[in-house]
Amino acid sequence: MSIQEIIDKAHGEQRVVLTEIEAKQILSAVGIPCTETFLAATRDDAVARAEAIGFPVVLKICSHQITHKSDAGGVKVSLKSRDEVAAAYDAIMAAAGEKFPQARLDGVSVQRMAGHGVEIIMGMIKDPNFGPVLMFGLGGVLVEVLKDVAFRIVPLEAADAAAMTSEIQGKKLLEGYRGQDPADIPFLQEMLLKLSAFVEKTPGIEEIDMNPVFAYKEGAVVVDARIILSSR
């Protein structure tokens, strides 16, 4: 399914929030690497997907009406067997159904457990005065605690991407702190440039949130993503 087809499908269903799977399909299509993620509508589907992907895996609730999956009890990680996946599926669906009884639950997303790296956040917000603005900073829970994020107006040039990765206070974590592997900073900068190019040519996007992005010594991968469309 093309990017435009994904967007048109969402609008056709009278929604502006894309699922994690849809968001990752769009980002992958523009050259931003994401963990391969599959929808499982039933417990048996989840088990079969997990076996095909290979353990350990992660299960997350799949619903465009549930934004913060963890708050809904909708995330289970490091699942290492068929039985663990089956139990996690039941627990996720029960918790999400209890906390969000009006939400449409499509099932769960299944993805292989990514190797841990430096947690990064990347994304885009619409500023009422400046238009699309990209953000980059430390991700995971650190983004809420430290708010260590750099911003630039779209479109970005290479110098802008370089500045964003160097001006955050936590840049020492990117450079390799206390024996940790350094992050692939040029790769992260290229991801920012690809995101900028996509946003510039796709005006119907209101918000993009890629958190966390795991940055490695070589490369990086988007582990979770959210895209919100502009209303028509």
Model confidence band, residue 145 (pLDDT cutoffs 50, 70, 90): low
Cis, bond preceding 101 (omega within 30 deg of 0): no
Domain ranges of the chain: 36-112, 118-229
SS3 54: coil
Question: Residue 172: CB partners within 8 Å, gap ≥ 6?
Answer: none
Average pLDDT, integer, range 154-167: 97
Higher-scoring residue by pLDDT: 156, 176: 156
Find out if CATH 3.30.470.20 is the number for domain 118-229: yes
Residues 6+ positions from 171 with CB-CB distance below 8 Å = 165
Q: Are 92 and 40 in contact (CB under 8 A)?
A: no
CB 61, CB 75: distance < 8 Å: yes
pTM attached to this predicted model: 0.92
pLDDT category at 5 given cuts 50, 70, 90 is very high
Angle ∠(221,204,40) on CA atoms, nearest 5: 50
Q: Which residue has the higher pLDDT, 169 or 120?
A: 120
CA dihedral angle for residue 111, residue 194, residue 173, residue 121, rounded to 10 degrees: -60
Residue 178's SS3 state is coil
pLDDT-derived band at 142, boundaries 50, 70, 90: low
Strand 205-215 versus strand 149-153 pairing type: unpaired
The average pLDDT across 23-35 equals 97
pLDDT bucket at 169, cuts 50 / 70 / 90: confident
Is the model's pLDDT at 224 over the cut of 80? yes
CATH of domain 36-112: 3.30.1490.20
Q: Give the sign of the dihedral formed by CA 176, CA 34, CA 224, CA 168.
A: positive
* pLDDT tens for each residue of 170-216: 888 898 877 788 999 999 999 999 999 999 999 999 999 999 999 99
